[in-house]
Structure 1
Amino acid sequence: MVQIVYGFVDEIQGSLYAHGMTAPAYREKYVAFVDLLGFSNLVQRSANDEMALKAVVDAIERLKDTACENPATDTLITYFSDCLVLSCERSPRALISMLQNLVTIAENLLVVDVMVRGALTVGKIHHDRHFMFGPAMIEAYRMECKEVSHPAIMLCPVVSADIEASGFQLWMMHDDAEPERKYLHYLINFQAYDPTPRAGTVVLDGPARLVRHYLAKRIAEHKDESLLSKATWLERYWNDTVGAQGILGMVDRDADRIRPDAQPFRSQRFIVGKGPEAKSAG
């Protein structure tokens, strides 16, 4: 794909020059690439399985309709197949919005038994309604494909530094097995959950039981070592963060195999007003 993207850039520039137009300009932006794990297998099953087809449609809708574009932060979203690319300006207000978008996407998919993997980087990209290309896009894709083996969203070192400088450390986590690498803490809302009823807050008890059920089921049924390792990694991530709080529970590999009487939630992000101005983080 990297070679294809480079070739695509040359083709775009050649076409523009041929029509007397200037080449599109790069901008320095945060760029995220998100992929659905195991989605191709689900699509193959959907040819002869009505429930699998329903799951495919639900997952695609959750992937492409969750995040929110925002002209104020130059936040753009491009969806294709089982992948999503998000980009936004390099500023603290855009960064926190990017992190919130990614967390909401991961949450919406986890509660329907779909795991995500991705990467968030910063660099040069051209992203508009027609074209999306640039070194940052290639780097985000490379990180997701080559460096991330678990259902995690990896943060490049520059993004990690920006998160710390902006005071957003709670949105970041690391794996003790790879302490030098930083990841998005997409279970942050489950970990911080307060069961005290309050107007306007999402009740996570049922969705948490669903996530634990799907993990226990995956661990019990997966025979492929790669798939099993992904499920056990997410189980450990859940237990070390969410389960350790003693509210939404640890994954019980036996008890959680029984499907709970719970329904998955679905969150969407919208623009409801103009946000405050913020200075660039770079």
Structure 2
Amino acid sequence: TGIKKGTGAKKGTKPAEKVDLQKLGKDLKEAVESGKMTEDKAIAEYIKAGGSLGQGKSGGKEGGKVAGKGESEKGKGKGRSNFYSIVIGRLKSRDIELGEFTMEVDYATLNRYTSKWIKDEIIGKTVRVSGVSGQFRDNLLLIKKGQTLKVRTSGYIAEDKTLLFAHKFNVLERAVPFDPEAHGVPPKEFRGFEGVLKGKIIEVGGYEVLMEIEKVISTSKDSKAMAPNSIKGKRVRLAGFYPQYENLFKELRPTDIIQIGARHEDVVFDMFQVQGDLLRIEE
């Protein structure tokens, strides 16, 4: 058995200090305003570092809130809101020339960069997705009505129930019918967990890992999970690998066995944040 340890540029070191998101947001905002960086790139860098676009500290010109009323409950329904999510549902209709389609939504990922009110508004409803271009129109052609697909979105316009296709982190493809457990939606008894987990990678991509848990290595005194071991044999979705785990993260592949610290910062979200040492265990 071999263990490969990575927490940043030097393997075997402690993870890098937490990024000062407030300072990073300020620096990125200045870079955008001076023309040194595009707003899209600034937002991408902020998300990579684990920043939240809904907290008003993004590198974008509007501090993570688009023109209009932003992301709060108070502002919903007024103009465009950011909604960085993977949305899963069944295709109802499509217009390849216009680059849009309608789908009945079964699930939408919710994490620090998105807004809960949007997820609540679209689940179980039919919505339009617009802005599909290039090769993704070809992908859309291959999906038949009634089939399940997943799409990455960047925004939502509440007035006409329209999701906007994300051009930065493109995803538009067939998917298996939605199953909460298979997708990594944590059981109620495990929400609020903080500790160390060991398991097998099912999916790795973007800035996330879907992991099937083999063992709960340890539970932190700060953990609020009612039954930590309820996650054994089930899956969790982990984010926050950039920048401190960037080098080893690039090497991770499905079926790899890893050990990583995880914390569930807010039980409303399905996503867990990573912390501590990242170990790849070579068996």
Question: Would you tell me which structure has more strand in proportion to its own residues?
Answer: 2
Name the TM-score, length of structure 2 as normaliser: 0.26
